[in-house]
Amino acid sequence: MNPFEMAVDAVFASFGVAATYTPANGDPATEITVLAKRPDEVVGFGETRIAAEISLFEIRASDIANPQGGDVITLNSIDYTVQGAPTRGTERLVWVVDAFVS
């Protein structure tokens, strides 16, 4: 295991929370650990700026190989539907997933 993998595992062990990942394609649900972030995103609409609440989740690539839009993350009994195309970090160890409350 390289130092980057060890660091990612340590962060998820210390700050991660348990969640359930359910693929939209009907595959079985999987118990995973996520880092949940809920920052406000400022969206421009003409000359108006609107603050919108978004939900971002970081998921270890070793837990989920290929997250897709429409998949569902359940955290604290709340379902979040993945939207858009998830992205990977520089070392390709973590997925960053944008989701909305469904």
Q: Which domains does the chain have, with CATH numbers?
A: 3-101 (2.40.10)
- CB under 8 Å, gap of 24 or more: what pairs does 11-14 form? 11/35, 12/60
How many CB atoms lie under 10 A from the CB of residue 2? 9
pLDDT at 64: 96
pLDDT at 53: 66
pLDDT at 54: 73
pLDDT at 81: 96
Phi, psi of 12 (to 5 degrees): -65, -35
pTM for the model stands at 0.83
Question: Taking residues 6-11, what's their average pLDDT?
Answer: 94
> Token pair of 87, please?
């992205």
Question: Taking residues 38-56, what's their average pLDDT?
Answer: 68
37 against 62, higher pLDDT: 62
End-to-end CA separation in angstroms for the chain: 37
Task: With beta carbons less than 8 A apart as the criterion, state whether 74 and 23 touch.
Answer: no
